[in-house]
Amino acid sequence: MAAFTAQDVKTLREKTGCGMMDCKKALTNADGDMDKAIDFLREQGLAKAAKKASRIAAEGVAYATTNADASVGVVIEVNAETDFVAKNDSFMDFVKACAQTVIEQNPADVDELLTLKAAGSEQTVAELLQEKIQTIGENIKIRRFERMEGACVAYVHAGGKIGVLVNFTTDIAVNDEFIAYGKDVAMQIAALNTPYLTEADVPAEVIEHEKEVMRQQVINEGKPEAIADKIVMGKIGKFYKENCLVDQEFVKDNKQTIKQYTNNTAKALGGSIEIAKFVRFEKGEGIEKRQDDFAAEVASMVK
């Protein structure tokens, strides 16, 4: 066997942007020689992806789905360079294969996901990824995912701009009525970007910070310091109603909160429902997008 280490594989991956298995194969073929391994990957047409790997991928999709009986769900973000790639069937097939692989094989993170055989394919996820980069011609990255077990409802908003996965604790069979309720909850999360599930989930430091800001606002409005704290407590109640999912007014019926809507649905369906947790991914959030100077790009092409 060729003499090379896991660190050599990592180094080759960083230099070329190629998948782990491709890098192992290249190093084996080159008897551990890094330069020859790079040449091998270039000859195979795989190292072309290296140039693309430095380009910013802030578009793509946030996608959410569940297995057939909605007992396992996943929300995943896969990025590309331009928004129209998300409308590409080949790209979406890859995203769905990644999601299905996560559902079936439960990888710990993206690095482990890349090493797994993709659902419905003989190739690994990394090999499929490199293939998509080659055929689509853009940098593509699997950014993140979250997997949940138990009763799950998935929702995708605006063609992949936002993906939401909600996990429930319930003794009710996941039927059409339950899914309709779950979609309503997920749509609320998508629309309002709700940061917390319950009041207990809000960190103490966040509440203390809000109290300080609110207290100063009250004093600046000319209210006496003696009653400032009472006014602040009322404002904190409003903060909870705006930022905690179960306390929010249900956007489709503002006469009830999400907690009341949940309890009413459970009663109607003859069981109990509790929202256990949720995840909301918005594509590209937190990624600095490249600001292209289109005129300069055209000028450079003409030159």
The confidence score (pLDDT) of residue 302 equals: 45
Q: Are 93 and 129 in contact (CB under 8 A)?
A: no
Q: What is the pLDDT of residue 277?
A: 98
What crossing angle do the helices spanning 34-43 and 6-16 adopt, rounded to 10°?
Answer: 50
Name the CATH code of domain 61-167+276-282 (choices 3.40.50.10470, 3.40.605.10, 3.30.479.20, 2.60.40.10).
3.30.479.20
Q: What is the pLDDT of residue 249?
A: 97
Alpha carbons 168 and 280: distance in angstroms, whole number: 15
Residue 156 CA to residue 96 CA, distance in Å, equals 13
Model confidence at 16: pLDDT above 80: no
Q: How far apart are CA 59 and CA 86, in angstroms?
A: 8
Class of the domain covering 6-53: mainly alpha
Segment 213-238 shows an average pLDDT of 89
**Predicted local confidence at residue 288, as pLDDT:** 64
- In a 3-state reduction of DSSP, which class is residue 139? coil
47-70: b (≥16 Cβ within 10 Å) or e: bbbbebbeebbbbbbbbbbbeeeb
The arithmetic mean of pLDDT across residues 101-130, rounded, is 96
214 Cβ partners below 8 Å, 6+ apart?
231, 232, 235, 236
In whole angstroms, give the CA distance from residue 149 to residue 156.
Answer: 19
Residue 61 confidence class, pLDDT cut points 50, 70, 90? very high
Q: Kindly state the average pLDDT of the residues 89-103.
A: 97
Residue 11: CA count within 13 A, CB half-sphere: 12
25-34, 102-111, 145-154, range with the lowest pLDDT? 25-34
Average pLDDT value for the chain: 89
Q: Is the pLDDT of residue 287 over 70?
A: yes
Residue 25 reports pLDDT greater than 70: yes
Among the listed residues 50, 48, 46, 6, the one whose alpha carbon sits nearest the alpha carbon of residue 27: 6
Q: What gap in Å lies between CA 87 and CA 202, rounded to an integer?
A: 37
pLDDT digits (tens, 9 = 90+) for 239-283: 999 999 999 999 999 999 999 999 999 999 999 999 999 999 999
For 44, the 3-state DSSP assignment is coil
The pLDDT value recorded for residue 160 is 94
Domain boundaries, the chain: 6-53, 61-167+276-282
Report the percent of the chain where pLDDT is more than 90: 66
Query: Phi/psi at 32 (nearest 5 deg)?
Result: 85, -5
Is beta strand 253-257 parallel, antiparallel or unpaired with respect to 273-282? unpaired
Sheet holding 61-66, edge to edge: 61-66, 72-79, 141-149
What are the start-end ranges of the E strands in the chain?
61-66, 72-79, 141-149, 151-157, 162-170, 249-250, 253-257, 273-282
Q: What is the mean pLDDT of residues 122-149?
A: 93
What single DSSP character describes residue 245?
G
